[in-house]
């Protein structure tokens, strides 16, 4: 009896081993393998993999308003859904996951979404974008069905950041995500380009989105049965004429050639099935001539990578079959011999890659059909992968930019996590009561914090800023200063300067989004003690901006100099910064002119900026003046704030460009035009000369609506400084 039992176990073990080999579930061991169950309080087993709770791995997550809101799982998903869909993490503001990358190269990003009803949370419909440091993956996305969005990006930095950006007054969410290394050999640069292929420059730098991964003639291949955890769907729903094809199944006959395709490219369950021309309906007529066609939904304007998988399991002898392969109207492989790459060995796995021109419609067709040179009409296809390539802006979405989300009006301080434990709700209620009591007590203590204390001017050049909150630091002030905001009020407005509220970083310090006690939205610039900018710059900015009032300029609303702090309070720009609206995009223009900034910089780098100036200005601009203007603009478009010039540098260089235009400087113009951003002209020894030149050049008071009078030359003299912003 024991021997019988032992033999049965041995047979069972061998069966499992053979099944594993057949299905190709062993092999690739990724260097990076992050599996995250978002919003879950515990790790989750899915197939043969473990998704880690992002509560226990918060080192990857940087978000704001982390408030737990758990709910029973049956109110989110059906009982037969994957367990990773039972919880979600919700973002009401731009938030991110950051993953350390141990091995640079191509990585998969898989995002899992379940469109459960958020109405009970008073949230409406989720609309959001998802991006990395380099690419927009999803734009204005609203999940309508249970879906997995799969992307492949080439990571060259030490971190991969996944950024979730809710649309204004909406929210974002994610149920689970994966960051997994891709084998280096999987995507290479040897794809055939279908003429005209557009601006295709190789696959290595491209971000890819999986549009379809199809098992022709076979059933669903779930990720558990794929070495790289991919899912292959049946092809019947993609066939334009299902009766034109019949299914063939010979999984056991598949062979992987040495140095060619491996199970990492496609499992045997894909190579071992195919859709073949169905000649039965034609009475096996040797003159039958029709194509088997599959149709896929695509986004116009994007190029697509197509991988076709072949394994001749239909022929009785090698090299007896020829057929044509079509992509839309292009015959991309006339007289294709399925045995040629297989070296004449039947049932050998291999693949062919193609890159399409930019799609002109929302349909892409792939067809196989008989070649006139073939003795007997037949054609087949085993598998297909269709992937979208990013456009020239690095985007996989037709939405070109990522919006940032202000604090949503009318939204409750809703959960960033939707979980499954009813017991946690009780805890949250208690925490909420304590929070409300604490907030009420704090508001009573800071009842005066909404009152801004005006700076008293008593005729001197320096005044002590004193109040019940102040330590009495001293600052020089102009007669038209703005108002002081108590430090305690700014702590409250910014949640103690919460890092999740940072909306900008410059040479002076960080800028935080905040809401004052009376509901006023503000941008709070807090000076960095380590910054090279000090009291003088703090005073200068107050003096200058307190005198500017213009509908197109951000207004200085107040300041704070308590506790050795130097803080400036501005009106909050509800529609974002000027940078968020640039560069200008005009899709109606030719491809290389769509992005105005990129188009201009292209000519600037060539030293031919004059090629794109307004026709009305042709012949009216001095070359050295235009050159200096171009240098200034190029520096202002640097990707990082520390590389961009200060406002003083910009003003100085623009004034200098104006001088080059209006007067001939005695020194060599070529030499004058190459002065770097932040350097002073050799002719200028002190700022009084700037004032004199500014007056001569008529650049004193700007002609702007609603601007209080202030000498721009005075601004120049106060703000020239070489640090970037």
CA atoms of 571 and 522, how far apart (whole Å) = 5
Any idea of the CA torsion for 382, 247, 323, 213, to the nearest 10 degrees? -30
State the maximum Cα–Cα separation within the chain, in Å, rounded to a whole number: 110
Alpha carbons 269 and 151: distance in angstroms, whole number: 23
Q: Beginning with the edge strand found earlier in the chain, give each strand of the sheet holding 509-515 in spatial order.
A: 453-454, 483-484, 556-560, 567-571, 521-527, 509-515, 502-505
To which H or E segment does residue 331 belong? strand 330-336
Does 78 belong to an annotated binding site? no
DSSP letter string, 415-461: -SEEES-HHHHHHHHHHHHHHHHHHHHHHHHTTTTTS-EEPP--SSS
The dihedral formed by the CA atoms of 335, 336, 339 and 343, expressed in degrees to the nearest 10? 100
**Number of neighbouring beta carbons within 10 Å of residue 630:** 21
Residue with tokens 């012949």: 619
Inter-CA distances, 257 with 341, 343, 359, 585, Å: 10, 9, 34, 49
Pairing of strands 417-419, 68-70: parallel
Q: Which of 488, 484, 494 is nearest to 556 (CA)?
A: 484
CB atoms within 10 A of CB 435: 13
> Three-state secondary structure along 166-191?
ECCCCCEEECEEEEEECCCCCCCCCC
Q: Which of 528, 527, 533 has the alpha carbon at shortest distance from 559? A: 527
Extract the tokens encoding 155.
């990571």
The candidate with the shortest Cα–Cα distance to 40, out of 534, 421, 377, 383, is 421
> What CA–CA distance (Å, rounded) separates 572 from 554?
8
User: What is the Cα–Cα distance from 311 to 213, expressed in whole angstroms?
Assistant: 17
Spatial separation of the C-alpha atoms in residues 666 and 453, rounded to whole Å: 53
Nearest to 113 by CA among 77, 146, 152: 146
Closest CA to 108 of 219, 194, 186: 186
| 192-193 vs 350-355, strand pairing mode | parallel
CA-closest candidate to residue 355, choices 187, 186, 231: 187
Residues within the annotated binding site for ATP? 525
Task: List the binding residues.
Answer: 525
């Amino acid at each position: 009896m024991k021997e019988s039992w032992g033999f049965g176990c041995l047979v069972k073990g061998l069966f499992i081993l053979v099944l594993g080999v057949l299905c190709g579930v062993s092999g690739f061991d990724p260097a990076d393998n992050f599996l995250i169950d978002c919003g879950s309080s515990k790790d989750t087993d899915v197939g043969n993999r473990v998704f880690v709770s992002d509560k226990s791995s918060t080192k990857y997550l940087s978000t704001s308003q982390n408030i737990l809101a758990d709910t029973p799982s049956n109110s989110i998903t059906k009982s037969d859904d994957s367990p990773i869909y039972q919880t979600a993490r919700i973002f009401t503001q731009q938030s991110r996951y950051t993953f350390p990358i141990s091995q640079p190269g191509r990585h998969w990003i898989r995002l899992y979404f379940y469109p459960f009803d958020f109405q009970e949370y008073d949230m409406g419909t989720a609309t959001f974008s998802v991006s990395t440091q380099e690419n927009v993956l999803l734009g204005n996305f609203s999940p309508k069905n249970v879906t997995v969005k799969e992307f492949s990006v080439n990571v060259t930095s030490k971190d991969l950041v996944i950024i979730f950006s809710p649309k204004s007054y909406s929210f974002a969410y994610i149920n689970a995500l994966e960051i997994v290394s891709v084998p280096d050999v999987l995507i290479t640069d040897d794809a055939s380009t279908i003429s005209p292929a557009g601006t295709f420059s190789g696959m290595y730098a491209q971000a890819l989105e999986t549009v379809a991964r199809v098992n022709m003639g076979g059933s669903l291949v779930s990720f558990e049965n794929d070495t790289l955890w991919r899912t292959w769907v049946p092809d019947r729903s993609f066939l334009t004429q299902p009766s034109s094809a019949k299914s063939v199944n010979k999984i056991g006959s598949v062979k992987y050639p040495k140095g060619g395709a491996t199970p990492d490219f496609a499992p045997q369950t894909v190579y071992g099935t195919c859709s073949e021309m169905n000649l039965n309906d034609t009475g096996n007529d040797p003159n039958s001539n029709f194509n088997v066609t599959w149709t896929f939904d695509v986004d116009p304007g994007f190029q697509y990578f197509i991988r076709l998988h072949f394994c001749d399991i239909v022929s009785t002898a090698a090299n007896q079959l020829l057929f044509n392969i079509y992509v839309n109207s292009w015959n991309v492989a006339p007289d294709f011999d399925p045995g040629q790459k297989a070296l004449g060995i039947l049932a050998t796995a291999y693949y062919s890659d193609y890159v399409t021109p930019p799609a002109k419609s929302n349909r892409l067709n792939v067809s196989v059909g008989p070649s006139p040179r073939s003795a007997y009409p037949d054609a087949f296809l085993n598998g297909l992968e269709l992937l979208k390539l990013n456009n020239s802006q690095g985007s996989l979405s037709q939405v070109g930019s990522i919006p940032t989300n202000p604090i949503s009006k009318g939204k409750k301080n809703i959960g960033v996590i939707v979980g499954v434990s009813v017991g946690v709700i009780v805890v949250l209620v208690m925490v909420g009561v304590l929070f409300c009591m604490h907030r009420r007590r704090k508001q009573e203590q800071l009842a005066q914090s909404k009152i801004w204390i005006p700076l008293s001017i008593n005729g001197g050049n320096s005044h002590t800023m004193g109040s019940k909150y102040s330590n009495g630091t001293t600052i020089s002030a102009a007669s038209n200063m703005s108002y002081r905001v108590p430090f305690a009020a700014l702590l409250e407005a910014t949640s103690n300067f919460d890092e999740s509220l940072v909306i900008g970083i410059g040479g002076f310090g960080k800028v935080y989004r905040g809401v004052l006690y009376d509901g006023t939205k503000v941008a709070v610039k807090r000076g960095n003690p380590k910054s090279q900018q000090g009291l003088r710059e703090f005073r200068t900015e107050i003096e200058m901006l307190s005198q500017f009032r213009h509908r197109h300029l951000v207004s200085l609303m107040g300041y704070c100099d308590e506790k050795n702090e130097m803080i400036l309070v501005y009106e909050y720009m509800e529609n974002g910064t000027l940078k968020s609206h640039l560069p200008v995009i005009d899709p109606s223009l030719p491809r290389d002119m769509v992005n105005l900034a990129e188009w201009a910089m292209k000519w600037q780098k060539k030293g031919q900026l004059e090629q794109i100036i307004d026709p009305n200005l042709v012949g009216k601009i001095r070359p050295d003046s235009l050159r200096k203007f171009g240098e200034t603009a190029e520096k202002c478009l640097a990707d990082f704030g520390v590389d961009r010039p200060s406002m003083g540098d910009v003003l100085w260089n623009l004034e200098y460009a104006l001088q080059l235009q209006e007067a001939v400087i005695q020194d060599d113009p070529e030499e004058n035009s190459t002065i770097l951003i932040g350097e002073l002209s050799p002719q200028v020894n002190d700022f009084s000369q700037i004032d004199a030149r500014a007056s001569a050049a008529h650049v004193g008071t700007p002609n702007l609506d609603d601007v209080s009078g202030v000498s721009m030359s005075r601004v120049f003299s106060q703000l020239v400084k070489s640090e970037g912003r």
